[in-house]
Amino acid sequence: MSRFSLYEDEIRPSPWQHTWREFKSSHVALVGLAILLLFVFFAFFAPLVTPYDPLFQNTESILVAPSWHPNGSITHLFGTDALGRDLFSRIMYGCRVTFGTSLLVVIIAMAVGVSIGTIAGMLSGVRSSVVNHLLDALMAIPTLLIAIIIVGILGSGLVNSMWAITLALIPQFIHHTRTFVRAEMKKDYIQASTLDGANRLQIFYYSILPNMIEMLVVQGTLALSIAVIDISALGFLNLGAQPPLPELGAILAAGLDVGYLSPWNIAIPGIAIFLMVLSITVVGDGLRSALRKRVNR
């Protein structure tokens, strides 16, 4: 175009700016995001900000009360555990282990599940049904139970429990992706793209994926909260992370032994897990409604 165009000068908000604008309007979601960002910060920068080594056992200050307690001291913000390790540092590292591994598990499960689900959704007939209904049977069993069975076979340990939870999470991603892709393939705009000569990969990338983000956010956050609970549950049951490793579930289990002497050893890791799951759910919910409003308003 040789003419100068006024329209190009105006700033057009990108899809993500639209989403952020809608997301901001929900205060609950913003608070959830702040808490979640705190956990993300711990996950990435725990070694830089922790006051003590999480494994360092200070025998001279065992079971120190938290700082707000009359007997507590500010040197140990959340007090210490039965072996004299600083609880604040352990919680930070615990967030790193629990949240980081959950995130990793969900990303792997999502990548695998969405790929298989998309292939199953685009195929038709028996091949598609086989993939779907075989995994539907698995979906009837809670993920934690499947994870315990897999850990029982593989043996305990954090890495084994991660594999177990990944495998347990994949079926739900496959199921939801397949249902979504199948519904989408029937739409007129997919037919129009097919008439334009788009192959299946192009249809998926350019036409289906933009609409799938909302579903992915919902399923992703759901899976993330399940993964956090499962990893800490396995840690609590001594099937996942093994004791010296600071993992929130394992810290909780260790605190149980001295629960009557120092209840904060149970309460604080418990609150950390609770806040983590809550903030993930709240942010996921806010993100979903923001994405929905973006394409409906």
Partner 1 sequence: MKQVLDVSGLTFRHSSKKRWLKKPEIFSLGPIDMQVTKGETIAIIGQNRSGKSLLAKMLAGAVEPDEGNIHLMEEKYWSVRHRAARKNADITGIRMIFQHSSESMNPGITVGQILDEPLRLNTGLSDAERKALIADTLVKVGLLREHIYFYRHMLSDGQQQRVALARAILPEPKVLIADEPFAALDPTIRSQTVNLILKLQQEMGLAFIFISHNLGIVRHIADRVIVMDGGQIIESGKTETIFRWPQHETTKKLVLSYQSLIPQQTLR
Minimum distance from residue 253 beta carbon to partner 1 (Å): 45
Looking up tokens 């205060």 gives: 27
- 210 is a site residue for partner 1 (CB under 8 A): yes
For 157, which DSSP code? S
Residues with Cβ within 8 Å of residue 61, at least 6 apart in sequence: 75, 76, 80, 84
Gap between the Cα atoms of 180 and 177, Å rounded: 5
Does position 153 interact with partner 1 (CB under 8 A)? The reply is: no
56 binds partner 1 (CB under 8 A): no
Compute the distance between CA of residue 66 and CA of residue 78 in angstroms, rounded to an integer.
Answer: 4
Contact between 9 and partner 1 per CB under 8 A: no
Question: Which is nearer to partner 1, 45 or 206 (by Cβ)?
Answer: 206
Q: What is the DSSP string of 78-144?
A: T-B-TT--BHHHHHHHHHHHHHHHHHHHHHHHHHHHHHHHHHHHHS-THHHHHHHHHHHHHHTS-HH
274 interacts with partner 1 by CB under 8 A:
no
Select the residue interacting with partner 1 from 12, 59, 140, 155 (CB under 8 A): 12
Q: Is 133 in the site for partner 1 (CB under 8 A)?
A: no
Count of residues of this chain found to bind partner 1 when the rule CB under 8 A is applied:
27
Which residue(s) pair with 80 in the sheet?
86
Answer yes or no whether residue 49 interacts with partner 1 by CB under 8 A.
Answer: no
213-232 mask for partner 1 (x: CB under 8 A)? x-------------------
Q: Pick the closer one to partner 1 by CB: 28 or 201.
A: 201
Rule CB under 8 A: which of 180-199 touch partner 1?
187-189, 191-199
| DSSP per position, 187-222 | SHHHHHHHHTT--HHHIIIIIIHHHHHHHHHHHHHH
- Contact status: 5 vs partner 1 (CB under 8 A): yes
Beta carbon of residue 196, minimum distance to partner 1 (angstroms, whole number): 5
Q: Which residues bind partner 1 (CB under 8 A)?
A: 1, 5, 7, 10, 12, 187-189, 191-199, 202, 206-207, 210-211, 213, 294-297
